[in-house]
Structure formats: C-alpha cells, structure tokens
Amino acid sequence: MAAKLTVPISEQQIRALKVGDQVLLNGVVFTARDAGHKYMIENFVKGTCPDSERLMYDVLKEGLKGGVIYHCGPVVRKRDDGKYEFVAAGPTTSIREEPYQADVIGHFGVRAVIGKGGMRDKTLKGCQEHGAVYLHAIGGAAPLIAECCKEVLDVYKLDFGVPEAFWKLHVEDFPCVVTMDSHGKSLHEKVRTDSEAKLQQLLAAG
C-alpha cells in the first residue's frame, strides 16, 4: 500500500521511508530545473542574496521548508480566465542537478526531490545528512501526471522560459516510488553496479 504524504513533510516521515516504498504525494510542489537550481545556488546558497531577489528568496525559503522540488519541464496552457494549467507534466532527467541538489536540500530544508533516472553520491549523502528522499516519477506518462497537478498556484521567473520557471503547484495523489532514501540506499546505484557486473560476465564469456 502506498504511503500518503502531505506537504510540508516532517523529517520523521521521511526517515520512515525505504527504497521501494510507494508514495502518493499531496500538497504544494515547486518545479525547478537547470536554470532554477543554478539560480538558487548562485544567489542564495553560495552567495549573498541580492536585494532584488529578496522576495523570491522568501517565497522559496517558506515554500521549500519541508517541501518538494519536482524536476519537470511542463507543457502549460493559459486559460481564458488568465490562469495556467498543466497539459503535460512528466519528469525530466535529474542527473543534471547533481552538482546542486544536496546544497539546495540542505539550505532550504527540502524533504523530497521528484525526477527520473536517479542521482549520485553527493545527493545521496545530502539525503542522509538532512533527511530527504529521491522519488522516481513515471517516465512517459506526462499527461497522466498532469491530471494529478490540480492547480497552478503561481509561477516565478517566467523569464527563464516555461520549462525552466518555478511553477508552484497543488498536487493530489501524485504517484512516486522511493528510489533513494535517507539511509544511504539507492536503487539506481544497485541497478548500475548489477548491470556493470553482468556486462563483465558477458564480455568474459564472449
């Protein structure tokens, strides 16, 4: 049975999760991709927050504490009433955020990162230290996932472009699987090492 998590998520709830656990996520989620992570590192994590970015910092500091970042480049439609809605919301490849993710998790108090393909040692260590997990979303199911994105609450840094902007969403029963937990376990690393071992066996047999 899938565990239901509602944002903000406590560290205790995260520490209770193990790789392989299914999760249904509810509450507020922020999307962020390459431009967003670089922006957070340069302006907030590694540098002094410029006065011009103070309001944005306050939004992220409040929204990401106990919160969730979704690696997603959505397809978005603007309705006649001026509000946005997601048409497609599939996960994007997470490994591009490996240089940044652990620092963002630690600085903002992020509890979960959603994406596809997994991440590596730096992020895994960050999850252990700060009490966070990596949640694998279903690749190739972008329209289905968009149905879980019930409302676009706001958008920030739209000048980055639609895929790279920070989209603030309300999600309901967003399905994910824990593939990196806060105990140092990673299904992605297991798959990688098992695949390499199998490859060496095949090469030796040939």
pLDDT reading at 32 higher than 80: yes
At residue 143 the predicted structure's pLDDT band, cuts being 50, 70 and 90, is confident
For residue 57, the enclosing domain spans: 3-205
Sequential DSSP letters for 69-90: EE-B--EEEE-TTS-EEEEE--
Q: Which amino acid is at 201?
A: Q
pLDDT in the model for residue 1: 85
Contact 101, 120 (CB under 8 A): no
Question: What is the sign, positive or negative, of the torsion defined by CA atoms of 205, 186, 42, 63?
Answer: positive
The answer to whether 89 and 51 have CB atoms below 8 angstroms apart is no
Q: How far apart are CA 131 and CA 15, in angstroms?
A: 6
Residue 182 belongs to a domain with what CATH number? 3.20.130.10
pTM: 0.92
Residue 38: pLDDT band with limits 50, 70, 90: very high
Question: What is 87-123 written as a DSSP string?
Answer: EE--B-BSGGGHHHHHHHHHHHT--EEEEBS---HHH
pLDDT band at residue 199, thresholds of 50, 70 and 90?
very low
Q: How many domains does the chain have?
A: 1
Mean pLDDT of the residues in the chain: 93
Look at residues 6, 115, 102, 22 and name the one whose alpha carbon lies nearest to residue 70: 115
Which member of 37, 71, 130, 188 is catalytic? 37
Q: Is the pLDDT of residue 115 over 70?
A: yes
- Is 37 a known active-site residue? yes
pLDDT in tens, 162-190: 999 999 999 999 999 999 999 999 998 75
Provide the pLDDT for residue 197.
54
